[in-house]
């Protein structure tokens, strides 16, 4: 981690003495895995210079970390992070249902809508002809690729079915795109925050993510600066109901950003996984690829239908098709034939399913907002027009501590830094709209109790030890 990162990660809140603020900041990073066990902290002099504080402040901060069991100081090898349990940092899974004793807010994935069984029955009618084949369609069955191409056509983006490569969910599509555009050490520009799965895919190809902050909208000047400095060959964007902020990129900005990316010879990966989750009935701008024909666009049925149907896809410009198909083949042999039949069956009559899903998410959004306003009025949240989540602003940089306190109260959270390549977003929390409305009241009650724990600095258990928040 370079020194600019440390500066971004350790803003010093005024309400704490400097040394304590530094110690708590570092401990928060160790708690949520941003600093692994054994990570070496910068020298006292370097960190003091980076943060603009005295060297004594850092000496005391490191002393505090050593005394509380979060760091070890060795002559000659500096100060390194240790975890009090001697085990791994507590992990915050993004896969729902891993812990059944808790309300799980760590993933944004909903239950299947009521029409799903009928869609599956519809698909089974076509099964006999599929069984009469080998069952492998590594780039997608023609019946489904045609439906997807028509869906793009209906949105103003003329598409040939041959441009579509079907995958087992959008996450696989993201990986295929990253593998086809990036190699080790190469750079890709992303928003901060962004979808953690994309950050994982970037890590898997050992490329480097360069973050541009996304607060109330896309900062085109910030993107220009990042592109100029990084010379990145690829960018990852979620313009349609961005995960986790729910933001929608206006049409004019799509054209501006597309022009900018083209001038910098940077290929956009456009993730449209959430495009159908239009909770406020907004008029949607044309797909990003209308403004930039070089874009690789990703789609999925996981959010508008159900995550259990593992169907996603890439829409490729013809010039990239061979490379993308090759990567897709290297990473797997395509989506299940049965799931592809279900996906085609969904496209036969998508509107009622979409309306049910969108109605459910909009009701959950309104319930969350009312409950939060009631019990946690000091938390700030902009009502999202679409997507799967609320992106809450906490009054303190304590997202990781909150996740830890919540877990002892049987509530699973994903701390804000998980949504950021530069591990900022320490004052942010994502709350999923996929939680059934009748559970939201209880979830907010537990959130409020956990927040009280953080504010009052209680001790919570980490493995065999107890730490003060
Ligand atoms: C932006 C984005 N891309 C991709 C995915 C992964 O979707 P899938 O379940 O289709 O793999 C998600 C899931 O939350 C997402 O939010």
Please choose from 193, 195, 340 the residue to mutate so as to test ligand 1's pocket, defined by most ligand atoms within 8 A of CB: 195
Spatial separation of the C-alpha atoms in residues 407 and 415, rounded to whole Å: 11
Phi then psi dihedrals of residue 393, to 5 deg: -105, 120
* DSSP string of 379-428, one letter each residue: SB-PPPSBSSEEEEEPSSS-HHHHHHHHHHTTEE--BGGGG-TT---TTE
Spatial separation of the C-alpha atoms in residues 8 and 210, rounded to whole Å: 14
**Which protein residues touch ligand 1 with a CB less than 6 Å away?**
108, 169-171, 174, 195, 197, 238, 243, 271, 273-274, 300, 302, 307, 312
Q: Which of 243, 157, 231 is nearest to 418 (CA)?
A: 243
Please choose from 107, 148, 170, 237 the residue to mutate so as to test ligand 1's pocket, defined by most ligand atoms within 8 A of CB: 170
Task: Answer for the pair 164, 215: CB distance below 8 angstroms, yes or no.
Answer: no
Beta-carbon contacts of 3 under 8 Å, excluding residues fewer than 6 positions away, are 42, 46, 47, 49, 50
Closest residue by Cα to atom 2, ligand 1, is: 273
Question: Relative to the CA of 172, which ligand 1 atom is closest?
Answer: 11
Domains parsed from the chain with CATH numbers? 3-81 (1.10.10.10), 103-108+353-468 (3.90.1150.10), 116-349 (3.40.640.10)
Please tell me the predicted confidence (pLDDT) of residue 20. 85
Please choose from 191, 300, 308 the residue to mutate so as to test ligand 1's pocket, defined by most ligand atoms within 8 A of CB: 300
Task: Using the mean position of ligand 1's atoms as its centre, give its distance from the Cα of residue 111 in Å.
Answer: 15
How many Cα neighbours within 13 Å face the side chain of 394?
25
Task: Answer for the pair 61, 26: CB distance below 8 angstroms, yes or no.
Answer: yes
Residue 441 burial (CB < 10 Å; 0-12/13-18/19+)? middle
Spatial separation of the C-alpha atoms in residues 335 and 365, rounded to whole Å: 32
* DSSP string of 11-74, one letter each residue: ---TTS-HHHHHHHHHHHHHHTTSS-TTPBPPPHHHHHHHHT--HHHHHHHHHHHHHTTSEEEE
Closest residue by Cα to atom 14, ligand 1, is: 108
Beta-carbon contacts of 349 under 8 Å, excluding residues fewer than 6 positions away, are none
Task: Answer for the pair 201, 182: CB distance below 8 angstroms, yes or no.
Answer: no
Mean pLDDT by 10 residues, the chain (469 residues): 68 72 82 74 90 91 87 86 58 52 88 94 92 93 97 98 97 97 96 95 94 95 95 97 98 98 98 98 97 98 95 98 96 95 95 95 97 97 97 93 90 91 90 94 97 86 60
Task: Using the mean position of ligand 1's atoms as its centre, give its distance from the Cα of residue 300 in Å.
Answer: 7
Task: Using the mean position of ligand 1's atoms as its centre, give its distance from the Cα of residue 243 in Å.
Answer: 9
Task: Using the mean position of ligand 1's atoms as its centre, give its distance from the Cα of residue 7 in Å.
Answer: 31
Question: Relative to the CA of 171, which ligand 1 atom is closest?
Answer: 11
Please tell me the predicted confidence (pLDDT) of residue 90. 43
Task: Using the mean position of ligand 1's atoms as its centre, give its distance from the Cα of residue 258 in Å.
Answer: 23
Q: Return the H-helix or E-strand segment holding 299.
A: strand 296-300
- Cα 34–187–48 angle (5° rounding)? 45
Task: Using the mean position of ligand 1's atoms as its centre, give its distance from the Cα of residue 459 in Å.
Answer: 36
Spatial separation of the C-alpha atoms in residues 218 and 285, rounded to whole Å: 15
Q: To which residue do tokens 């009928």 refer?
A: 118
pTM of the model: 0.85
Please tell me the predicted confidence (pLDDT) of residue 8. 65
Q: To which residue do tokens 């949504």 refer?
A: 419
Strand 465-468 to 459-462 pairing: antiparallel
Tokens of 181: 């555009």
**DSSP 3-state of 453:** helix
Task: Using the mean position of ligand 1's atoms as its centre, give its distance from the Cα of residue 171 in Å.
Answer: 6
Question: Relative to the CA of 242, which ligand 1 atom is closest?
Answer: 1
Task: Using the mean position of ligand 1's atoms as its centre, give its distance from the Cα of residue 196 in Å.
Answer: 9
Task: Using the mean position of ligand 1's atoms as its centre, give its distance from the Cα of residue 353 in Å.
Answer: 18
Our CA dihedral for 439, 442, 446, 452, rounded to 10 degrees, sits at: 130
Please tell me the predicted confidence (pLDDT) of residue 87. 42
Q: To which residue do tokens 């098709």 refer?
A: 321
């Amino acid at each position: 981690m370079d020194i600019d990162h440390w500066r971004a990660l350790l803003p010093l809140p005024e309400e704490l003495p400097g040394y304590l603020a530094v110690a708590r900041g570092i401990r928060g990073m160790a708690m949520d895995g941003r600093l692994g066990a054994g990570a070496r902290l910068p020298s006292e002099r370097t960190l003091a210079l980076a943060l603009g504080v005295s060297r004594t402040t850092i000496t005391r901060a490191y002393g505090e970390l050593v005394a509380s069991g979060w760091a070890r100081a060795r002559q000659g090898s500096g100060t390194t992070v240790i975890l009090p349990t001697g085990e791994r940092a507590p992990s915050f899974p993004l896969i729902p249902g891993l812990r059944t004793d808790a309300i799980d807010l760590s993933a944004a994935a909903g239950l299947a809508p009521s029409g799903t069984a009928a869609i599956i029955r519809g698909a089974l009618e076509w099964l006999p002809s599929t069984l009469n084949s080998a069952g492998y369609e590594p780039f997608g069955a023609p019946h489904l690729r045609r439906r997807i191409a028509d869906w793009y056509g209906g949105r103003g983006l003329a598409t040939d079915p041959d441009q579509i490569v079907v995958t087992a969910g959008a996450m696989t599509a993201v990986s295929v795109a990253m593998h086809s555009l990036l190699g080790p050490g190469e750079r890709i520009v992303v928003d901060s925050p962004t979808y953690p799965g994309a950050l994982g895919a970037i890590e898997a190809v050992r490329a480097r993510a360069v973050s541009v902050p996304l607060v109330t909208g896309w900062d085109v000047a910030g993107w220009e600066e990042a592109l100029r400095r990084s010379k990145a060959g690829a960018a990852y964007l979620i313009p349609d109901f961005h995960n986790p902020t729910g933001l929608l990129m206006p049409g004019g900005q799509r054209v501006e950003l597309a022009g900018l990316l083209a001038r910098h010879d940077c290929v956009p990966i456009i993730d449209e996984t959430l495009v159908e989750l239009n909770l406020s009935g907004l008029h949607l701008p044309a797909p990003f690829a209308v403004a930039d024909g070089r874009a690789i666009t990703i789609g999925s049925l996981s959010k508008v239908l159900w995550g259990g149907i593992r169907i996603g896809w890439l829409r490729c410009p013809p010039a990239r098709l061979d490379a993308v198909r090759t990567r897709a083949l290297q990473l797997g042999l395509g989506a299940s034939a049965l799931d592809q039949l279900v996906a085609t069956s969904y496209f036969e009559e998508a509107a009622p399913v979409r309306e049910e899903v969108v109605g459910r998410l909009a009701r959950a959004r309104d319930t969350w907002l009312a409950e939060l306003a009631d019990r946690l009025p000091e938390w700030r949240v902009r009502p999202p027009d679409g997507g799967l989540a609320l992106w809450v602003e906490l009054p303190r940089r304590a997202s990781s501590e909150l996740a830890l306190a919540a877990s002892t109260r049987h509530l699973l959270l994903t701390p804000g830094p998980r949504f950021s390549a530069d591990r900022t977003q320490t004052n942010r929390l994502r709350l999923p709209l996929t939680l059934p409305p009748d559970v939201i009241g209880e979830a907010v009650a537990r959130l409020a109790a956990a927040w009280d724990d953080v504010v009052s600095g209680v001790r919570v258990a980490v493995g065999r030890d107890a730490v003060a928040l």
